[in-house]
Amino acid sequence: MTEGIGPVRVPIMERVLGANDDIAAATRTDLARRGIFAVDLIGAPGSGKTALLEATLRLLKGRHEPAVLVGDLATRRDGDRLARWCDRVVQISTGEGCHLEAGQVRDALRGLDLRGVDLLLIENVGNLICPVGFDLGQAAKVGLFSLTEGDDKAAKHPYLVTEADLLLLNKSDLAPYVSFDRAGFESDVRLLNATVPILDLSARTEEGIDAWLAWLDAGVASVLRGRPTA
């Protein structure tokens, strides 16, 4: 038996989620090469993620060729709702997982024929916290808040607000019925993220939804412009 030197500290310095990030990076490269603009939609349960995507898919008919991935802990209900409006919908069951991970998105995409697709909408699991830190390979992260959740939700979820490329404030049609300090919400957002656009809309009445569709148009156009020529 050799007498050892006792415990040794070995420096490593690596990202803990490096395995997830590596898969996401591969997906990001693949999607960009195919000219697909991918959006990771993050919002609380009941904020209207699926309702927004239903309206979006209906209004974008003929304008873009979308594919949709939808993550839920259980049930296929969201996937079934969205499949009425889109041929390429994959429901991802996360089981106990409170967020989507890059491997799940990659696997779902591998089962899809992506020819002709220019827009990938990923509805993350309803949760304002866990999904933010897991890169999926998206081009843009969109945070969805709604008036019924209360005006303090931006301040309480700083990571999402900081990381988001766009914030949506849904259920604007309910403004007369709920007390939501819109200016206070925005000033919390601005302390965390000076530049992120905030769009007010209602997925139900479609009020304000044109600005969201125009933002998607611009995203698709930017990916097509940046697409490397083979």
Q: Which stretch binds another protein (CB under 8 A): 24-32, 74-82, 142-150, 174-182?
A: 24-32
Q: How big is the CA angle at 18 (ends 12 and 23), to the nearest 5 degrees? A: 150
Measured CA to CA, the distance from residue 196 to residue 215 in angstroms comes to 12
Q: Which of 57, 58, 129, 150 binds another protein (CB under 8 A)?
A: 129
30 sits near another protein (criterion: CB under 8 A): yes
19 sits near another protein (criterion: CB under 8 A): yes
Nearest-CA neighbor of 48 among 212, 192, 189? 212
Residue 131 vs residues 1, 143, 155, 221: alpha-carbon distances, Å: 49, 11, 17, 26
Which lies closer to another protein via its Cβ, residue 113 or residue 179? 113
Under 8 Å between Cβ of 205 and 173: yes
Measured CA to CA, the distance from residue 120 to residue 69 in angstroms comes to 8
Interface residues for another protein in 67-106 (CB under 8 A)?
Answer: 96-99, 101, 103, 106
Q: Which of 74, 95, 115, 179 binds another protein (CB under 8 A)?
A: 115
Question: Binding residues for another protein, per CB under 8 A?
Answer: 3-20, 22-23, 26-27, 30, 33-35, 96-99, 101, 103, 106, 109-115, 129-130, 133-134, 155, 158-159, 162-163, 187-188, 191-192, 230
